[in-house]
Amino acid sequence: MIVCCLDMEGVLTPEIWIEVAEKTKIKELRLTTRDLPDYDALMRRRLKILRENGIKLKDIRRVIAKMEPLPGARKFLDALRARQEVIVLSDTYYEFAMPLMEKLGRPALFCNWLSTDQKGFIARYHLRQKNGKEAAVRALKNIGFKVKAAGDSYNDLAMLEAADGGVLFRPPAKIARAFPRFKVTKNYPALLKALI
């Protein structure tokens, strides 16, 4: 049996931090794992910027509540789930992702979580596990599943490497050039074909 593991942001939904940057007009929040491969450094930077600008978790959740999945994502996901098991593996947080997961038909999601201080600022982020995407793929393979995976950013590369078949979906050109061993897809019909 095949299990498909999909990244969330950039594959099924827009990048949450870019949406927050647009709404708050804070350019520095536009950086994602498409730009910086060091996730810890990126998150520490984000949390510092949020605090300096008085942005609390509830403010971010208001932005997310107005977001929609990428056009065609729900149809793609429904078609894929009709053929195979699907797990969304993301570096986002349950506090961010759940409204978008509702709009995608509540696929299984493995991600991280946040804690806030008494004022409502994000105080810490908690990783489910270091290299969680890769670890999930390896665990699925260890219990007898064949795993295919799709992602778009630096933080997806270990997951794609660990999978039996890794696919890049609309990656930045620099990532596609640096990792030619992964098939590149630019639309959902091509991604569906690559994963089934």
Q: Is residue 9 annotated as part of the catalytic site, yes or no?
A: yes
Catalytic residue, candidates 7, 19, 152, 156: 7
Outline where DSSP puts E strands in 22-129. Answer: 85-93, 108-116, 122-126
Phi and psi at 141, nearest 5°, equal: -65, -35
Cα gap 125→127, rounded to integer Å:
7
Catalytic residue, candidates 9, 19, 91, 95: 9
Phi and psi at 101, nearest 5°, equal: -65, -35
Answer yes or no: are the C-beta atoms of 151 and 6 closer than 8 Å.
Answer: yes
Q: Is residue 164 annotated as part of the catalytic site, yes or no?
A: no
Q: What b/e sequence results for 55-84 when a residue is b if at least 16 CB atoms lie within 10 Å of its CB, and e otherwise?
A: bbbebbeebbeebebbeebeebbeebeeee
Sequence-distant (6+) residues with CB within 8 A of 97 are: 8, 90, 109, 111
**What is residue 53's three-state secondary structure?**
coil
Cα gap 29→27, rounded to integer Å:
5
Active-site residues, by number, are 7, 9
